[in-house]
Amino acid sequence: FKLKEGEISNVLETEAGYHIIQMIERKGDYINVRHILLVPKVSPLDLFTAKRELDSIAGLIRSDSITFEKAVEKFSDADNKNSGGILINEYTMGTTFEAEQLDPQVSFTIEKMQVGELSNPVPLKIDKQKDAYRLLKLKSKTQPHKANMLDDYARIQQWALQEKQMKAINKWIDEKAKQTYVRVVDEYKTCPFAHQWEIR
């Protein structure tokens, strides 16, 4: 932010919409700003046009006129266009997902797909506000299995580490709770707590 105190920015476009930002004050690396956000409305005609365009792009991919990755690079508006459209799992930062980690619409769509298959246009909401469509290509699929040390060592190690960390944190809280004053407001005194607080 290069704005000076009281200065107002030009119109900025982000995935959320169009912003005008005013700098209230700056203290070192901390800034206090306010902004106006306008979210453009997408008309039903715009959505229909986008869906038809995606249908055409899907036709090009299916006829081998263009690869999925090249189509992403050429036509996509998404942030992941430079990585070939690969989705990143926000929980693991990897490229694999468990079914419950996927958007229900995506999960429902890919459930019926074969590896390498391309979906029809799938509706989605961007930032829970803007309607859009996307194509999905299923890169790989694994069968559900019971966790074992050979195939799931990294995941089991992560679970064990998290469990150990939680035990250490809980032990520390239990020790500190005995010597630390915590005021619990009357309306919350009857609530169940994970730790034993001395309620006065």
**CATH number of the structural domain spanning residue 67:** 3.10.50.40
- Confirm whether 100 is domain-assigned: yes
Residue 143 lies in a domain: no
In a domain? residue 22: yes
Summarize pLDDT for 4-36 with one digit per residue, the tens.
888 899 998 887 788 999 999 988 888 888 989
Domain identity same for 106 and 55: yes
Helices then strands, counting H and E runs in the chain, come out as: 4, 5
Task: Tell me, yes or no, whether 171 lies in a domain.
Answer: yes
Residue with the bigger pLDDT between 37 and 155: it is 37
Shared domain for 177 and 121, answered yes or no, is no
Would 196 be classed as within a structural domain?
Answer: no
- Domain region containing 163: 149-188
Q: How much of the chain, in percent, has pLDDT values that exceed 90?
A: 30
Distance CA 88, CA 11 (A): 30
> Domain check: are 94 and 60 in the same one?
yes
67 and 87: one domain?
yes
Q: Could you tell me the pLDDT band of residue 126, with boundaries at 50, 70 and 90?
A: confident
Q: Which amino acid is at 140?
A: S
Both 107 and 179 in a single domain?
A: no
**Contact between residue 138 and residue 114 where contact means Cβ atoms under 8 Å apart:** yes
Instruction: Judge whether 195 lies within some domain.
Output: no
Q: What are φ and ψ of residue 158, in 5° steps?
A: -65, -45
pTM of the model: 0.57
pLDDT of 60 above 60: yes
Question: Which whole number is the average pLDDT over 169-198?
Answer: 81
CA distance 24 to 30: 11
pLDDT band for 106, please (50, 70, 90 cuts).
Answer: confident
C-alpha to C-alpha distance for 92 and 72, rounded to whole angstroms:
23
Instruction: Examine the domain organization and report whether 111 and 128 are in the same domain.
Output: yes
List CB contacts of 145: < 8 A, sequence separation 6 or more: 151
pLDDT digits (tens, 9 = 90+) for 35-56: 898 877 888 898 899 999 999 9
Q: Assign 176 a pLDDT band (cuts: 50, 70, 90).
A: confident
Write out the two tokens for 9.
């920015």
The reply to whether 72 and 112 lie within a common domain is yes
Q: Please count the structural domains in the chain.
A: 3
- Predicted confidence band at 1 (pLDDT cuts at 50, 70, 90)? low
Q: Residue 26: inside a domain, yes or no?
A: yes
Task: Answer yes or no: do 84 and 106 share one domain.
Answer: yes
> Within 10 A of 98 (CB to CB), how many other CB atoms are there?
12
| Predicted pLDDT at 116 | 92
Is a pLDDT exceeding 70 seen at residue 77? yes
Closest to 21 in 3D by CA, of 40, 41, 4: 4
Q: Residues 6 or more apart from 132 whose CB is under 8 A from it? A: 42, 47, 50, 77, 123, 124, 125, 126
* 64 and 96 housed in the same domain: yes
Q: Is the pLDDT of residue 169 over 70?
A: yes
Q: What is the pLDDT of residue 120?
A: 93
pLDDT at position 56:
95
Per-residue pLDDT at 88 exceeds 80: yes
**Is residue 87 in some structural domain?**
yes
Could you say which of 89, 108, 134 is where a domain stops?
A: 134
Q: How far apart are CA 152 and CA 96, in angstroms?
A: 13
